[in-house]
Amino acid sequence: MSNTLTGITPVLYEALNVVAREMVGFIPAVSRDASAERAAVGQTVRSPIGVSGALEDVTPGAVPADSGDTTVGYTDVLIVSSKAAPIRWSGEEQRGVGTNGTLANIMRDQFVDGMRKLVNQIEVDIALAVKKGSSRAYGTAGTTPFATASDLSDIANARRILEDNGAAITDLQFVMNSAAMANLRGKQSLLFKVNEAGSSDMLRDGMTDRLEGFALRNSAGIVLHTHGSGTGYLVNNGAGIAVGATSIDTDTGSGTILAGDFITYAADTANKYVVSADLSTTPIVVNKPGLKVIAPDNNAITVGGSYTGNFAFSRNAVVLVARAPALPEGGDSADDRMTITDPISGLSFEVSVYRQYRRVKYEVAMAWGVAVVKPEMVATLLG
């Protein structure tokens, strides 16, 4: 096996083809800014956001209106992870497996596993960011949604939150945990009865393309959120806290309130507001668009229970920035390096090879960061 990457390029692309068909829920659902440029941990990457001009009347004339200039917006995303999956072989090990194709097959599987590990970690990071960046929640913590046959009110109410918040509804995504997906497949007969659904997709393949305006996706990156221990907190504002506020001053109370927790207060038990940051000192900060009902002074604040989330959002609400890891000026000791891009997800994996004493080390690497840029376009369905 060559110590440059040219000899294993077919192996890399064969591995890439396998990974490209193992998509996870969040990565294909969010807005992606992925390229072969380099970035370092702690670096801020500016992701552009294009907008059109304001609406104008169509007025026939000799020439079109002198309009259309816009300022390109942007969102800044911090690169927080730079990781590599290592693969190392000695000459003795390579000879031990033979040269009749066995080595190439093993290395293909190693590269598949390395790419999968990177993708899975990115998936977990997106799930964590979306959980902390959600506007409000619906449902009952600890109770898996879609448990009532022929009842899709859970996803309908998640969409209601987005619509009430003014979210764009043209590219909606719904990412479920495995328990919610099982209920959808097993209990919602209107989806898998062909005469009712109009399609055999759910019955034959276990997945339907769209439901209630959402692209449906399933993610193993969603894990249980264990709620904080906060209790006894009261609203502290003589005039009350106004509708739209995202900061809630408190007095009394003890224990933790964590990012991703949801809270209610006595004057508004219908809305479940998602906390954006761990509480160290007052105030409690919730995500935009903020409170829907005035919070009177001395209203009791209740921290919700632990849950495994499901998430409804507009694609443009969440941005994933993926880059090749940073290198020092002049490069490092790698003997060869190449970037291969997954044509489905758009993610670029950097593959490097390092010659060592009677052995060779390969490395699959990526740097990335995630940001929820429009919390009002994200809603949590509790489970």
Q: Give per-residue pLDDT as tens, 206-224.
A: 455 678 889 999 998 999 9
Mean pLDDT lowest for which of 10-14, 107-111, 362-366? 10-14
Question: pLDDT at position 374, please?
Answer: 93
**Of 366, 377, 361, 357, nearest to 323 (Cα)?**
366
Question: pLDDT at position 21, please?
Answer: 57
Mean pLDDT over 228-251 rounds to: 95
- Mean pLDDT score of the chain: 88
Higher pLDDT, 141 or 209: 141
Higher pLDDT, 150 or 284: 284
**Cα dihedral 27→29→31→36 (10° resolution):** 30
pLDDT digits (tens, 9 = 90+) for 25-38: 899 899 888 776 78
Do 189 and 149 form a contact (C-beta atoms < 8 A)? yes
Question: pLDDT at position 136, please?
Answer: 98
Q: 164: helix, coil or strand?
A: helix
Question: pLDDT at position 20, please?
Answer: 62
Mean pLDDT over 82-103 rounds to: 86
Do 252 and 235 form a contact (C-beta atoms < 8 A)? no
Q: Is 50 exceeded by the pLDDT of residue 203?
A: no
Q: Is 57 exposed, middle or buried (0-12, 13-18, 19+ CB in 10 A)?
A: exposed
Confidence class for position 195, pLDDT limits 50, 70, 90 = very low
Question: pLDDT at position 14, please?
Answer: 83
**Of 277, 178, 171, nearest to 221 (Cα)?**
178
Q: What share of the chain has pLDDT > 90, as a percent?
A: 60
Confidence class for position 205, pLDDT limits 50, 70, 90 = very low
Angstrom distances, CA of residue 157 to CA of 232, 313, 346: 29, 13, 32
Question: pLDDT at position 198, please?
Answer: 45
Cα gap 207→318, rounded to integer Å: 23
Question: pLDDT at position 76, please?
Answer: 82
pLDDT digits (tens, 9 = 90+) for 296-318: 999 999 999 999 999 999 999 99
Do 351 and 109 form a contact (C-beta atoms < 8 A)? no
pLDDT digits (tens, 9 = 90+) for 145-181: 999 998 999 999 999 999 999 988 889 999 999 999 9
Whole-model pTM? 0.86
Mean pLDDT over 215-237 rounds to: 94
Q: Is 80 exceeded by the pLDDT of residue 204?
A: no
Domains and CATH numbers, the chain: 6-49+81-132+319-378 (3.30.2400.20)
Angstrom distances, CA of residue 36 to CA of 148, 339, 367, 368: 47, 7, 10, 12
Question: pLDDT at position 19, please?
Answer: 72
**What ranges in the chain are assigned the alpha helix state H?**
9-20, 91-97, 102-132, 153-164, 178-187, 189-192, 194-197, 201-205
